[in-house]
């Protein structure tokens, strides 16, 4: 159902904007007034929605950031500790193999390939992993 158009609005535009509106009207087979109404409605609806959501959106984002910040910091610390532990274990294992006179590099490369394959494995297949 078409809206009843009751309220006229007079505006002035520069030549460049007029040329763009005219081109759009010709390309779409609309009048310049229809193009202007459509574009004005779209812009007004978008800006109205942004203005209406901004305070709520800002409050939600702040609450989420305040809630998640300690969790992010804790996960970062755990990740750093895990990386140090993994590097320490890798160094110690390679040192032991070296002291035993074995080539630890070949073992390391094979272990790396298997670890990468394990990490890429889909979650549902993890339960069936056999050594």
Q: Which of 4-8, 103-107, 113-117 is the most confident on average?
A: 113-117
Q: How far is Cα 117 from Cα 111, in angstroms, rounded to an integer?
A: 10
CB atoms within 10 A of CB 104: 17
Q: Does residue 118 surpass a pLDDT of 90?
A: no
Proportion of the chain above pLDDT 90, given as a percent:
46
Helix then strand count (H, E) for the chain reads 3, 0
Question: What confidence tier does 51 reach under pLDDT thresholds 50, 70, 90?
Answer: confident
Q: What distances in angstroms separate CA 91 from CA 15, 34, 87, 96, 103, one per listed residue? A: 72, 73, 6, 9, 13
Query: Does 58 have pLDDT greater than 90?
Result: no
Spatial separation of the C-alpha atoms in residues 100 and 94, rounded to whole Å: 10
What are the domain boundaries of the chain?
15-128
Reported as a single tens digit per residue, the pLDDT across 9-46 is 899 999 999 999 999 999 999 999 999 999 999 999 98
Q: Is the pLDDT of residue 120 over 90?
A: no
Cα–Cα nearest to 5, from 40, 49, 50: 40
């Amino acid at each position: 159902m078409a809206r009843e158009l009751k309220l006229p609005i007079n505006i002035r535009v520069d030549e460049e904007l007029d040329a763009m509106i005219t081109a759009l009207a010709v390309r779409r087979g609309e009048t310049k007034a229809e193009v202007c109404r459509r574009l004005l409605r779209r812009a007004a609806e978008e800006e109205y929605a942004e203005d209406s959501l901004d305070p709520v959106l800002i409050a939600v984002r702040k609450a989420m950031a305040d809630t998640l910040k300690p969790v992010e910091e804790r996960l970062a610390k755990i990740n750093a500790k895990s990386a140090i532990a993994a590097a320490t274990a890798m160094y110690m294992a390679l040192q032991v193999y070296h002291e035993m006179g074995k080539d630890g590099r070949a073992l390391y490369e094979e272990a790396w390939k298997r670890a990468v394959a394990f990490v890429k494995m889909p979650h549902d297949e993890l339960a069936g992993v056999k050594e």
